[in-house]
Amino acid sequence: MSADSFIDSNVLLYLLSTGAKADRAEEVVAQDGVLSVQVLNELANVCRKKLRMQWAETEDFLRVVRDLYPHPQPLTRESHELGMGLAARYGLSVYDGQIAACALLAGCTTLWSEGMKDGLVLDGRTTVRNPFAGLA
């Protein structure tokens, strides 16, 4: 994996757990990759709402992630429009469409995501891969 890999929030969240998926998430993160501001927003939302983390804990986790990925892909009108088109074309949620758009705009050939269909090829350039496929 190299900088042509895009990391979705659902992979990064496993860094907060233990077990085989946490180990695999660490392997993915140990390589060079890209994420977007959308991913950072999703991480913050899940940490606060689902995991019920305090603001200080949430910010500590986000700081670690931002240090690993200091140049996130921005959300722009271009990424919004592309993402909406991808969501419609591939049956993605609006939010996954934004993730996919940022991966394409970053020139990534792999999008690591547990939530999107493993093997889906977006616009003939970016392939969705589930890093946890095959794990018990």
Whole-structure pTM value: 0.93
Q: What does the pLDDT read at residue 134? A: 87
DSSP SS3 for 113: coil
Q: What does the pLDDT read at residue 27? A: 96
Distance, CA of 87 to CA of 136 (rounded, Å):
30
Distance, CA of 2 to CA of 42 (rounded, Å):
23
Residue from 100, 4, 121, 119 nearest 133 by CA:
119
Q: Which two tokens stand for residue 18?
A: 């233990």
Q: Which two tokens stand for residue 50?
A: 């689902």
Q: Which two tokens stand for residue 2?
A: 């190299």
Successive 10-residue mean pLDDT values, the chain, 136 residues: 83 97 96 94 98 98 96 96 98 97 97 97 97 87
Phi, psi of 67 (to 5 degrees): -70, -35
Q: Give the max Cα distance, the chain.
A: 41
Q: What does the pLDDT read at residue 1? A: 41
Q: Where are the domains of the chain?
A: 5-129
Question: Domain 5-129 is classified in which CATH homologous superfamily?
Answer: 5'-nuclease (3.40.50.1010)
